[in-house]
Amino acid sequence: MKKNVFLITALLFIGLISQAVNVITPKGDKNMETTEISTLTTTSLSGIVLDNETGEALAGVAIRFEGSNETFYTDFDGNFKIDNVVPGKYNILSNYISYADNKLKDVNVSGPKNVIRLVLKKD
């Protein structure tokens, strides 16, 4: 009986450890969609989105990496944070109703703290 309990506990522990985490990969990768991670080091990208004329924060702006299907949105204060990003250079796309689409090219995501500021212009 003790062997069975130990075996079940060990299998559950191994199952929890081996679960994959999805990450965003750099634009140079052929397959930009999320990738399984095993020993990759990841970081995060955060920032704020502001109106060009008023400087006010914009809530609900859609943000994504060019070539990726995954979209992130700014919070009520115009802030966003994207976790599990593989270090590299990315083009960051943003769009919002009644504002021109924006593309921030070659954003270098490398260290532990990556913060950007996006400024959108009205259409």
Instruction: Compute how many other C-beta atoms are within 10 angstroms of the C-beta atom of residue 34.
Output: 16
pLDDT tens for each residue of 82-113: 999 999 999 999 999 999 999 999 999 998 88
Please state the pTM of the whole predicted model: 0.71
Q: Residue 79 is part of which domain span?
A: 2-120
CATH of the domain at 51: 2.60.40.1120
Instruction: Look at residue 70 in the predicted model and tell me its pLDDT.
Output: 95
Sequential pLDDT tens for the chain (123 residues)? 555 444 444 444 444 333 445 566 665 554 455 555 445 689 999 999 999 999 999 999 999 999 999 999 999 999 999 999 999 999 999 999 999 999 999 999 998 889 999 999 999
Domains contained in the chain, number: 1
The per-residue pLDDT for 42 is 92
Average pLDDT, the chain: 81
| pLDDT at res. 22 | 59
Q: Distance between the two ends of the chain, CA-based, in angstroms?
A: 70
89 contacts: CB under 8 Å, gap ≥ 6: 26, 27, 28, 106, 107, 108, 109
d(CA 36, CA 33): 10
